[in-house]
Amino acid sequence: MLFPTVEFALFFLLTLCVAWLLASWPARHKAFLLLASYVFYGFWNWAYVPLLFGISLFAGLLAQRIQRSASLRARRLWLALGVMGCLATLVYYKYTGFLLQNFLEAWRYMGRQTPEVSFNNPVLPLGISFFVFHAISLLADVYKKRLQQPVKIHDALLYVAFFPQLIAGPILRASNFMPQLAVPRNPRAIFVNRGLMLIVTGLVKKVLISNQLAVALVDPTFAAPSLASGPDMLLATYGYAVQIYCDFSGYTDIAIGCALLLGYKFPANFDRPYIATDPQDFWRRWHISLSSWLRDYLYIPLGGSRRGGLRTLLNLMVTMLLGGLWHGAAWTFVIWGGLHGFYLIVHRLWAALPWLARWRSTTAWRWVSRLLLFHAVCVAWIFFRSPSLDMALTVFQRLGAGGPLTLASTTTVLALAAGLVGQYMPLRWGRALEREFSRWVFPLRGALFACAIFVIEALGPSGVAPFIYFQF
Closest listed residue to residue 44, CA positions, set 131, 159, 127: 127
Break the chain into its structural domains and give their ranges.
6-189, 208-249+266-422
Q: What is the reported pLDDT for 437?
A: 79
Q: Provide the pLDDT confidence category of residue 167 given band limits of 50, 70 and 90.
A: confident
Q: How far apart are CA 351 and CA 359, in angstroms?
A: 11
Q: Can you tell me the distance from the alpha carbon of 180 to that of 164, in angstroms, rounded to the nearest whole number?
A: 15
47-65: average pLDDT: 94
CA distance 450 to 323: 39
What mean pLDDT do residues 374-379 have? 97
Contact call for residues 419 and 254 (beta carbons, < 8 A): no
Compute CA distances 469 → 147, 166, 249, 369, whole Å.
28, 11, 10, 28
In this structure, which amino acid lies at residue 351? A
**With 70 as the cut, is the pLDDT of residue 32 above it?**
yes
The mean pLDDT of 359-377, rounded to a whole number, is 90
Average pLDDT over residues 291-299: 91
Residue 284 predicted with pLDDT over 70: yes
Question: What pLDDT was estimated at residue 187?
Answer: 82
Pairs from 428-434 (Cβ < 8 Å, separation ≥ 24)? 430/197, 433/197, 434/193, 434/194, 434/197
Q: Write the burial class of residue 323 (CB in 10 Å: 0-12 exposed, 13-18 middle, 19+ buried).
A: buried
Q: What percent of the chain has pLDDT over 70?
A: 95
> Which of 272, 275, 276, 324 minimizes the C-alpha distance to 298?
324
SS (H, E, C) 126-151: CCHHHHHHHHHHHHHHHHCCCCCCCC
Residues noted as catalytic: 327
Q: Which residue has the higher pLDDT, 118 or 76?
A: 76
